[in-house]
Amino acid sequence: MDPRKRMDVLAAELLRHQHRYYVLARPEISDAEYDRLLDELVELEKRYPQYAGPNSPSRRVGSDLDGSFPERPHAVPVLSLDKLYEARQAAQWLRKTADACGNDPGFTVEEKIDGASIVLYYEHGELQHALTRGNGLAGNDVSDNVRTIGQVPLRIAEPGALAVRGEIYITRDDFVRFNAGLAEKYANPRNLAAGSLRNLKSSLTARVPLNIFAYEGFFAGAARDHLEVLARLRDLGFRVNPQLGFFCDSGPRRQRAQALFPEAYSAPLAGVEDYLRRLGDARAGVPYDIDGLVLKLADLELRQELGFTAHHPRWAMAYKFEAPQARSELLDVLVQVGRNGRVTPVALLRPVRLSGSTVTRATLHNQDYIDMLELGIGDQVAISRRGDVIPAVDEVLEKSATGPTVYRLPELCPFCASRLVREGAHHFCRNGSCPERQRRALGYFCAREQMDIESLGEKTIAFLYEKGWLRTIPDIYSFDYSRLEGVEGYKERKIARIRAAVEKSKEQPFARVLAALGFEGLAAAVAAALIAHGFDDIDRIIATAARGDWEAFAAVEGIGEATARQLVDHFSSAANLELIARLRSAGLRFRTEGPPAGRIDDSFAGQVWVITGSLEKFNPRSLAADEIRRRGGRVADSVTSRTSHLLAGANAGSKLAKAEKLKIQVVSESEFQELLQRG
């Protein structure tokens, strides 16, 4: 067969099978057979790339090439819906609208899914573009990512132009599973769905178990009503939510609705309030997040007659289940720079009351998050407090009529004007002498959680920095605080307090000092883990880093490869070594006191031990750990392929089983004693 014809046949077959599998959940062929057809097509597309269309079923697997998201105008503006929060009000709106129309109009009630809105544009039966909502007039073209979603039809039997609106979402179960494997977690299913549409590599999006429901279609040829539109979409292969309510006082129209959608619930208008309540109560049982229900006039001609307000269609209304959110406006974005140079955009909001306090700021994380929200200055936004105290911007409710569509971070650091560098999801100021970074490093060092030099608060540090008296951390210990005498606001008692606090901080244990250095990735928990696993002396840490031995750090429970490599970098950098040397000569503690004292020999050098079960002689087990460390060995918490020995006491459990599986040497308590004596 002509290869081009064969490719057409394969593509048509595969798209049909994808529809049966993803949309209907009724596959006709086995996965293996499907893979065989797909492999054949991919093979042919490699040989004849000129015949491979943008909507080939092979596009489902995505690409590893970086894409971009050019902005495109929407053919039909995407307006937001007006909202109500009470079922009774929603029922009243329905009755009022029905009376205004006359002649027993029908209304649909659909789930308002908490996902990412998308508009799919088809022409000549092919998916042309998939655009995000954007500012409603134009959105970002995320077609390549959307093509990877199996439920999105790539080709349809509709020759005319068609725009389809839908919601892309992920179920709660899938969210929990998928999020668990991510280094940077998403706060909720909606953010994951929206973020996935903005992956630069579509192959990443292909891995996310995304779903779509289509809920609106704009056909070139006229359709009579919304039910007909939904039925046509369903017949073209789109996934239409079967959870559908139809309310109308005309019996024959309700019968017609039932004929089109046998699964729909239909009743006279009087039944709507009860229906809204019932669905609201049952929403926890729905496998995906819904934040409300959408009531729409079904008759398309009547919709045209009712028209729009400046912001909303008059023929639709969102009934939101509750109002835990507050509405505010994004006044500006504050660009913060942390001690490690990381740039954090912070939303400055029109003050608004939210669960008992006034909110004026919310974190925006990074540029990706802003892009995902499609957030710009002047936009009306929904903010919430999730479980804890930090307010978050959840979504854009209404775009500002003027101004840029989406806020962009500045290219230069606002504090030192050096060029910001993007690494991963974040931007960084890489200038080590950036004044803001230095002030932050000083503040972090003095904070209660670290060295607890409380009298050197943010204001005092800023003042001393301004004067040029305090620039780097060692300055805290070398500065002559008597120079503050006579300075306004610095009475004798205050100066004495600062001196005393600085002096007292020299007593802080090594773990605190280590974390207070403020090195990226070296949080308090990491410092504690290092020390607990034998890195109880700065010289040992520096020597390990000098050898480039990140694996020794990674052998510590709780330290991953990325952090281990960072530690090697931190403790071999000349600037950091000088910092440590200066603090050491100032009298700060750079090793832990007490056991394990005294090195015995190197008989356990290079060994990584794990201790499990209960020991008789070495009780607590830290006694055994001390013996191992005194002989140059390391002790870790969990059994991995790097473990060399397992010391197993009585009632050893899963660690013993794992060690046996990995064929790691298992040592009993008595054998351990022999090893110690042998030396």
Starting at the earlier edge strand, list the strands of the sheet with 162-169. Answer: 126-132, 116-123, 162-169, 211-219
Binding-site member from 168, 413, 579, 635 for Zn ion (CB under 5 A): 413
Regarding 409 and contact with Zn ion (CB under 5 A), the answer is no
The stretch among 1-9, 429-437, 441-449, 558-566 that binds Zn ion (CB under 5 A) is: 429-437
* CB-based contacts of 453, cutoff 8 Å, min separation 6: 445, 446, 476, 498, 501, 502, 505
Shortest spacing between CB 470 and Zn ion, in angstroms? 18
The pair of three-digit structure tokens given for residue 624, joined into one six-digit string: 């055994």
State the Rg of the chain over Cα. 32
Q: Are 248 and 269 in contact (CB under 8 A)?
A: yes
The CB-of-341 to Zn ion minimum distance in angstroms stands at 7
**What is the layout of strands, in order, in the sheet containing 316-320?**
83-84, 316-320, 290-297, 107-113, 244-247, 265-267
Residue number, 404 or 410, with CB nearest to Zn ion: 410
Q: 645-648 and 608-612: which strand pairing?
A: parallel
Q: To which H or E segment does residue 650 belong?
A: none
Nearer of residues 430 and 642 to Zn ion, judged by Cβ:
430
**How far apart, in Å, are the Cα atoms of 128 and each of 120, 283, 335?**
8, 35, 38
Rounded distance, CA 384 to CA 319, Å? 18
Q: Which residue has its beta carbon closest to Zn ion?
A: 434
**Contact window for Zn ion (CB under 5 A) among 158-166, 179-187, 388-396, 424-432:** 424-432
Q: Which of 557, 666, 673, 671 is nearest to 618 (CA)?
A: 673
Could you tell me the smallest distance in angstroms from the CB atom of residue 435 to Zn ion? 7
Q: Is 420 in the site for Zn ion (CB under 5 A)?
A: no
Whole-number Å distance between alpha carbons of 158 and 660:
62
* Helices vs strands, H then E, count in the chain: 25, 23
* Minimum distance of Zn ion from residue 339's CB (angstroms): 11
Query: Binding-site residue total for Zn ion (CB under 5 A)?
Result: 6
428 forms part of the interface with Zn ion (CB under 5 A): no
Q: Which is nearer to Zn ion, 169 or 428 (CB)?
A: 428
CB of 366 to Zn ion, least distance (A): 17
Q: Among residues 112, 296, 320, 399, which one is catalytic?
A: 112
Q: Least distance from C-beta 265 to Zn ion, angstroms?
A: 59
Alpha carbon distances (Å) from 660 to 215, 556, 636, 645, 675: 56, 21, 17, 11, 20
Q: Coil, strand or helix: which one is 505?
A: helix
The stretch among 241-249, 376-384, 413-421, 443-451 that binds Zn ion (CB under 5 A) is: 413-421
For Zn ion, the closer of residues 105 and 518 by Cβ is 518
Question: At closest approach, how far in Å is the CB of 413 from Zn ion?
Answer: 3
Give the nearer residue to Zn ion in terms of CB position, either 100 or 462: 462
Which of 415, 444, 535, 553: binder of Zn ion (CB under 5 A)?
A: 415
For residues 119 and 337, which CB has a smaller minimum distance to Zn ion in the complex? 337
x/- mask, Zn ion, residues 659-678, rule CB under 5 A, reads --------------------
Q: Quick one: 163 or 434, whose CB is closer to Zn ion?
A: 434
Residue 500 makes CB contacts below 8 A (sequence gap 6+) with 455
Helices (H), 82-122: 87-101
Copy the structure tokens of residue 162: 């068609």
Binding piece for Zn ion, criterion CB under 5 A, among 20-28, 246-254, 433-441, 540-548: 433-441
- Segment contacting Zn ion (CB under 5 A): 164-172, 409-417, 460-468, 556-564? 409-417
CA–CA gap between residue 166 and residue 120 (Å, rounded): 8
Q: Which residues, 6+ apart, have CB-to-CB distance to 54 below 8 Å?
A: 126, 127, 143, 147
Distance CA(95)–CA(101), nearest Å, equals 10
Query: H-helix or E-strand containing 338?
Result: none
At position 593, the amino acid (one-letter code) is E
Q: Which residues share a beta bridge with 266?
A: 246
Q: What is the dihedral of CA 204, 206, 209, 213, to 10 degrees?
A: 120
- Per-residue binding string, Zn ion, 362-401, x by CB under 5 A, is ----------------------------------------
The reply to whether 112 belongs to the active site is: yes
The answer to the question of residue 434 lying near Zn ion (CB under 5 A) is: yes
Among residues 122 and 415, whose Cβ is nearest to Zn ion?
A: 415
Per 3-state DSSP, what percentage of the chain is helix, strand, and coil (rounded to 5)? 40, 20, 40
Buried b / exposed e over 99-110, threshold 16 CB at 10 Å, is eebeeebbbbbb
Binding mask 120-159 for Zn ion (x = CB under 5 A): ----------------------------------------
Please tell me whether residue 429 binds Zn ion under the rule CB under 5 A: yes
- Residues 336-365 touching Zn ion, rule: CB under 5 A, are none
Minimum Å gap between C-beta 628 and Zn ion is: 45
The pair of three-digit structure tokens given for residue 545, joined into one six-digit string: 């880093």
Find the binding residues for Zn ion in span 501-560 (CB under 5 A): none
Does the protein bind Zn ion through residue 465 (CB under 5 A)?
no
What is the C-alpha to C-alpha distance for residues 194 and 439, in angstroms, rounded to an integer? 36
Stretch that binds Zn ion, among 342-350, 352-360, 434-442, 556-564 (CB under 5 A): 434-442
429/502 with CB nearer Zn ion: 429
Separation of alpha carbons 383 and 83, rounded Å: 16
Question: From the CB of 422, what's the least distance to Zn ion, in Å?
Answer: 15
20 forms beta bridges with: none
Q: 421 or 650: whose CB is closer to Zn ion?
A: 421
Measured from the CB atom, the residue of 55 and 431 that comes closer to Zn ion is: 431
Query: Is residue 416 close enough to count as binding Zn ion by CB under 5 A?
Result: yes
- Segment near Zn ion (CB under 5 A); pick from 5-13, 33-41, 432-440, 658-666: 432-440
Taking contact as CB under 5 A, which single stretch among the options 166-174, 355-363, 377-385, 430-438 is the one that binds Zn ion?
430-438
E strands in 368-454 = 380-385, 391-398, 420-423, 426-429
Tell me if 41 sits within 8 A of 5, measured CB to CB. Answer: no
List of residues contacting Zn ion (CB under 5 A): 413, 415-416, 429, 431, 434
Catalytically active residues are 112
